[in-house]
A and B are shown apart, each in its own frame.
Chain A
Amino acid sequence: MAWDISKVRNIGISAHIDSGKTTTSERILFYCNKIHAIHEVRGKDGVGAVMDNMELERERGITIQSAATQVQWKDYTINLIDTPGHVDFTVEVERSLRVLDGAIMILCAVAGVQSQSITVDRQLKRYHVPRVAFVNKCDRQGANPVRVRMQLREKLGLNAYMMELPIGLEDKLEGVVDLVAMKAIYFDGPNGEDLRIAEIPANMTADAEKYREELLDAASMFDDSLMEEIMEKGYDGVAEDKIIAAIRKGTLAEQFVGVFCGSAHVNKGIQPLLDAVVRYLPAPNEVRNVALDLDNNEAEVELESVDNKPCVALGFKLDDGQYGQLTYTRVYQGKIKKGEELYNTRNKKRFKVGRLVRMNSAQMEDINEGCAGDIVALFGVDCASGDTFVSGGVNYSMASMYVPEPVISLSITPKDKQASMQMSKALNRFTKEDPTFRVYTDPESNETIIKGMGELHLEVYVERMKREYNCEVITGKPQVAYRESITTTGDFNYTHKKQTGGSGQYGRVAGFMEPDSEKDYEFVDAIKGGAIPNEYIPSCDKGFQKAMKEGSLIGAPIVGVKITINDGQYHPVDSNDNAFQIAAIGAFREGYMKAKPVILEPIMKVQMTAPTEFQGNLFGLINQRRGVIVDSTDENNTSTVNAEVPLSEMFGFSTILRSSTQGKGEFTMEFLKYGKVPNNVSEELQAKYKEEKAAGKK
């Protein structure tokens, strides 16, 4: 098929965990004839969904890695990226969004807008990704897509309108009413593959007309001629394509979200959703993409989705397959051709494009070239995720992706010698793949420490080591990433002097430090009259930064400090860079203790849901964990409790929640902020730190 960029859609599926992303993707593959049978996510049939291409995912029923796949729908090419819903893997979501032009936002018809829907919404807004919403699970008890649409408006501030109404709900879900065409759509055949278009059921016409009027009024805001046509011919007389064009305009401007509904699980509503993707979501050349010119002070350069310009592509995801490293790449400009040379602007290395493939979940098709707007995969390229590949002499980098800092760490020890060798291989790969997964060796204990975004995040990597690398490790107790900070102003005036024969050292540094809520560290040079010569100012800065790596309370990194130096002294012979660095370290420690230091801990935003009868238990669990209940909402016999809880109190929470709610409770958690630890906890942590220090562990 000839490459027509206007007929390409790069889309992702973003949603709260368990909203049915993978099931929806699976149905999309099925209706686009990519697969010829439907399997359940949890693999009851022993096969598992195609998009969940890792054994571990099949078992857990969650999608950990986004798998890219290309499908054909009518005469359109859709590159589909299935993204993980669990917040612990948010970096995967972020990465996918960076390369997508549009998204399907899936919501559960029962639970509606949940905590992660809010996270996903924030991400879509951050990357300016237009979207359509799909209210899934309309076959579940308590389903109410109209209520979910209201929540999209109220909770997320989206200009959301029903594009369809469900015909029947819960176990009586039969099909949908298309409010643009004003027709009923039924999904016949064993897997809902046969669409039957019919008249709207009589008992629904009044509702359909009401919601259509609402929809057309909203759409007419984006097209004056549509407004005129409504006035002239009334709501029934408007041409379908005019309505679609107006809605498309609103969607692309991120000022309109069409709400579709159905149930992937019972094969209802997916084909109209695919129509919505091609109708309302943008083609690659309708999206503004910007690169940074590294040869011109990182000035922004607008990229063009054309084939005859230098190639600019982004490697957004790595995967280690049986044939070596696979790099999922989005082509923004120009073409990637097999056998052609590309340049990695981060590591400044040239490489030849070897095997080039297009992915269908875990299966691949060999191709000779990838055009602007396409998503392809390269074989055997030495790179990290987020690298930019260019040709034709340009030196561009795609804007870097936002990567959150890890909040939890775990020590891991290989079980035996063979595991030890495999472990470094595995860790090397995982850190390349996932920027939120970090590894370092503790210089004192010599232990290997892995860091990540949550317990599950680290758990999954430990499990993957075992399965994919045959490497068993013993894990330590999870450790929270504490920080230290100051609460008031502390001054310092410190002299470092060593003048006892031989070459001496001399430096005096004076000034003050104060809390800074905006930045982790700020250094202000307010030295007058050369009390400290200019050449030693960077030495002071360096010394302060070194001192901040390890606080005096528990040895944690120090954040939120603004340091001003306003006086000092030097010696014409004995002063040097090192002397002033040491003086600054001494000055910092002197001021730090005066500035009333405190310990900070990561506080997580936790959302729990359970049947209302367990509401008291939810409250109790939060209170037992030093948590703060922010709010609680009751709807349809389901309680949702939002709370802020220290991460250190959340270890093993899923088991505890299950046992206190007869297995009916669910929770999600994401990092919110760093907060001060209470005095008793602070004392405990300090005592433990002193003990470990005395024992020589620190």
Chain B
Amino acid sequence: MNKKDLIAHSPVRYFDVTNAGLKDGEMGLITAKKGLGKTSILVQFGIDSLLNDKALVHVSFDQQSSNVIAWYSSVLAEIAKKKSLNLDDVNEEIVRNRTILNFNQETFTLPKVVNTLKALKDGGTSIASVVVDGLDMNKTSADDIKCFGDFIKKEKMTAWFSFTNEAADLKGTLAADKLDNFATVAHLAAEGKVLSLAILKNGEGKVSLDAKTLLMTKS
């Protein structure tokens, strides 16, 4: 019962109205300048997958696992706080279905991440969704992104990426050969006191972010 409530109140429901959500086999990209809330958005997508019983792998290139775990705990607590929901059982389930992978950008490439995901699957871990946070897309080749996209497509997973970039239009984000791999692109920016996530590719409209909790909310 509780989980249903949490799903119903998941911030991702506000994102659903943009029709920019990912289908199986697709990848999405969230861009924004540094420190605006990209990780929070990725974590919200991650939690939504977990609440829907979809096993998740969170790949981080710039944060320790303990920080990633703290992100999940605090975002989940914020979602629950809104409706005074109890998290006891949900927390345990989330830990059980979430795997965090930690890589160093200097020594690890997307094809190597694919190898790790394959190893996880071969080891018996089911994966439905992936989020990749902190990867420098400028240092990542189009071929590597395609290799990752092909794997996601083949395995019918979904993957959200974050990318530190200030451009508010599609052209300014990435070169076309890299961009082609992403079904959805959305840009997060501050407009006065409001943070809003604008859909640049696939779907339309905007989603606001609560400035205090960084949760997606009504535009």
Contacts and interface: CB of A to CB of B under 8 A. Distances in A.
A154 B95 contact: no
A616 interface: yes
B144 to A, nearest CB: 16
A619 B119 contact: yes
Contacts, number: 66
A628 B95 contact: yes
B73 interface: no
Contacts of A623: 123-125
Interface residues of B, number: 25
A617 B122 CA distance: 9
A624 B96 CA distance: 14
Interface stretch (A253-261, A303-311, A634-642): A634-642
A623 B124 CA distance: 6
Max chain B C-beta neighbours (<10 A), residue from A155, A622, A633: A633
A620 B125 CA distance: 8
A61 B43 CA distance: 45
B1 to A, nearest CB: 14
Given A623-B123, A632-B99, A642 B107 contact: no
B85 interface: no
B217 interface: no
B107 A632 contact: no
Nearest to A118: B66
Contacts of B165: none
Interface in B66-124: 66, 68-69, 92, 95-96, 99-104, 107-108, 112, 116, 118-120, 122-124
A635 B107 CA distance: 8
A631 B124 CA distance: 15
Interface in A597-642: 615-624, 628-636, 642
B101 A622 contact: no
Given A155-B66, A616-B119, A634 B124 contact: no
Given A154-B64, A155-B64, A615-B116, A631 B122 contact: no
Contact of A634 (B65, B95, B102, B122): B102
Given A634-B104, A642-B65, A628 B119 contact: no
A620 B65 contact: no
A675 B95 CA distance: 13
B102 A619 contact: no
B122 A630 contact: no
A540 B77 CA distance: 40
B111 to A, nearest CB: 13
A633 B61 CA distance: 10
Given A619-B124, A623-B125, A624-B124, A631 B119 contact: no
Contacts of A629: 99, 120, 125
Nearest to A676: B92
A652 B124 CA distance: 21
A155 B63 CA distance: 11
A230 B118 CA distance: 55
Contacts of B96: 628
Interface residues of A, number: 24
Interface in B108-164: 108, 112, 116, 118-120, 122-125
A675 B96 CA distance: 12
B123 A616 contact: yes
B99 A634 contact: no
Contacts of B69: 630
B125 A634 contact: no
A631 B65 contact: yes
A307 B65 CA distance: 50
Interface string B30-73: 00000000000000000000000000000000001110110000
Nearest to B100: A631
A642 B125 CA distance: 15
B64 to A, nearest CB: 6
A153 to B, nearest CB: 11
A154 B102 CA distance: 14
B127 to A, nearest CB: 11
Contacts of B116: 615, 632, 634
A634 B103 contact: yes
Contact of A630 (B64, B95, B104, B112): B95
B119 to A, nearest CB: 3
Given A628-B95, A631-B65, A642-B65, A622 B100 contact: no
Interface string A632-657: 11111000001010000000000000
Given A154-B64, A619-B125, A631 B95 contact: no
Given A628-B95, A629-B99, A634-B104, A619 B64 contact: no
Contacts of B107: 634-636
Nearest to B122: A616
A685 to B, nearest CB: 20
Contacts of B120: 616, 619, 629
Nearest to A515: B88
Interface in A642-698: 642, 644, 675
Given A619-B124, A623-B125, A631 B104 contact: no
Q: Which of B101, B107, B118 has the most CB of A within 10 A?
A: B101
Nearest 3 pairs of A and B residues by beta carbon = A619-B123, A616-B119, A623-B124
24 contacts: A155-B64, A616-B119, A619-B120, A619-B124, A620-B123, A623-B124, A628-B95, A629-B99, A629-B120, A630-B65, A630-B99, A631-B68, A631-B99, A631-B100, A631-B101, A631-B102, A632-B100, A632-B102, A633-B102, A633-B103, A634-B102, A634-B108, A634-B112, A635-B104
Interface of A: 154-155, 615-624, 628-636, 642, 644, 675
Interface of B: 64-66, 68-69, 92, 95-96, 99-104, 107-108, 112, 116, 118-120, 122-125
Given A623-B125, A630-B95, 20 more contacts: A615-B119, A616-B119, A619-B122, A619-B123, A619-B124, A619-B125, A620-B123, A622-B123, A631-B65, A631-B99, A631-B101, A631-B102, A632-B99, A632-B100, A632-B116, A634-B104, A634-B108, A634-B116, A635-B104, A635-B107
